[in-house]
Amino acid sequence: MPTLYDRVLKSMESTLETARKSAEMLVGKAEDTAEVIKFRLEKGRLEREMSRKFAKFGRKLYEMTVREGRGEEILRDSEVQSMVEDLKRIERDLAHTQALMERELEKHASPS
């Protein structure tokens, strides 16, 4: 028959083990959250960069078509082509970041 000391000791060990598991779970969740936050920050950065590039792109197109009357030359212009390539790259980066973020969110939403 276990003594009072044995029962208290067993209860304390059980409590400590539960606390340890809870702490490990919280650390894991904090790391997961940090990863998701990192992706959200990157997504926001890419969206701001894309907005700036679109604004610059729009100004360039406006200047070429309205002010300079060179509408037919737009797609052949090297600066316009460079801007289009920048926008395509940012769009790919944004889609990739969004996919990584969604994968990370799904990973943490499903029970481990």
Residue 72's CB is within 10 A of a number of other CB atoms, namely: 9
**Spatial separation of the C-alpha atoms in residues 78 and 22, rounded to whole Å:** 58
pLDDT of residue 96: 96
Check pLDDT > 60 for residue 112. no
Domain boundaries, the chain: 4-109
Q: What is the mean pLDDT of residues 30-35?
A: 76
- Tens of pLDDT, residue by residue over 37-85, are 899 899 999 999 999 999 999 888 888 887 888 878 887 889 888 988 9
DSSP 51-104: HHHHHHHHHHHHIIIIIS--GGGGGG-HHHHHHHHHHHHHHHHHHHHHHHHHHH
Residue 110 binned pLDDT confidence (cut-offs 50, 70, 90): low
> Which residues have CB under 8 Å from 26's CB, separation 6+?
none
**5 or 103, greater pLDDT:** 103
For helices 78-109 and 4-62, the axis angle rounded to 10 degrees is: 160
**Spatial separation of the C-alpha atoms in residues 17 and 63, rounded to whole Å:** 69
pLDDT of residue 27: 75
pLDDT of residue 111: 58
Residue 22 binned pLDDT confidence (cut-offs 50, 70, 90): confident
